[in-house]
Amino acid sequence: MEYLAVKHLHMSCAALSIGLFLLRGVWMLNDAPQLAQRWVKIAPHLVDTVLLASALTMVVWSGQYPFVQPWLGAKVVALVLYIMLGAVALKPGRPKQVRAIAFGAALLAVAYIVAVALTRRVFIVG
């Protein structure tokens, strides 16, 4: 029962994290002043901390470790890519075109992460 609760917490945090990233990305593309609000800078860190803690809890409880389970390893690699691309997309000072491309690529990375999570397959096509 506890594992299922942690899994639901993880999925909820993942959805919230993706939603916040989408919102911040749209605001970035539109030069919206909301991007400078304090809660916009704090909330993603709180959500992502709970997301990571729930992921680590599930890994330990299930005994399914990344790189032992290929699909989990693929998620970790894609997560690192998503974080790097997201940082480029949301960090001010870079040209808007570079940030927009990084934003789109980050969305593709997170779509891959979700697809792998749902299918437990490294290659989601074929």
Dump pLDDT digits (tens) for 8-23: 999 999 999 999 999 9
Residue 124 domain flag: no
pLDDT band at 35 (very low <50, low <70, confident <90, very high): very high
Residue 101 domain flag: yes
The whole-number average pLDDT for the span 47-60 is: 97
- Domain ranges, residue 88: 2-119
Residue 70 domain flag: yes
Residue 102 domain flag: yes
Domain count, the chain: 1
The amino acid sitting at 24 is R
Residue 110 domain flag: yes
pTM score, two decimals? 0.92
pLDDT band at 67 (very low <50, low <70, confident <90, very high): confident
Residue 125 domain flag: no
Distance in angstroms (rounded) separating the CA atoms of residues 76 and 47: 18
Cβ neighbours for 82, distance < 8 A, ≥ 6 positions apart: 106, 109, 110, 113
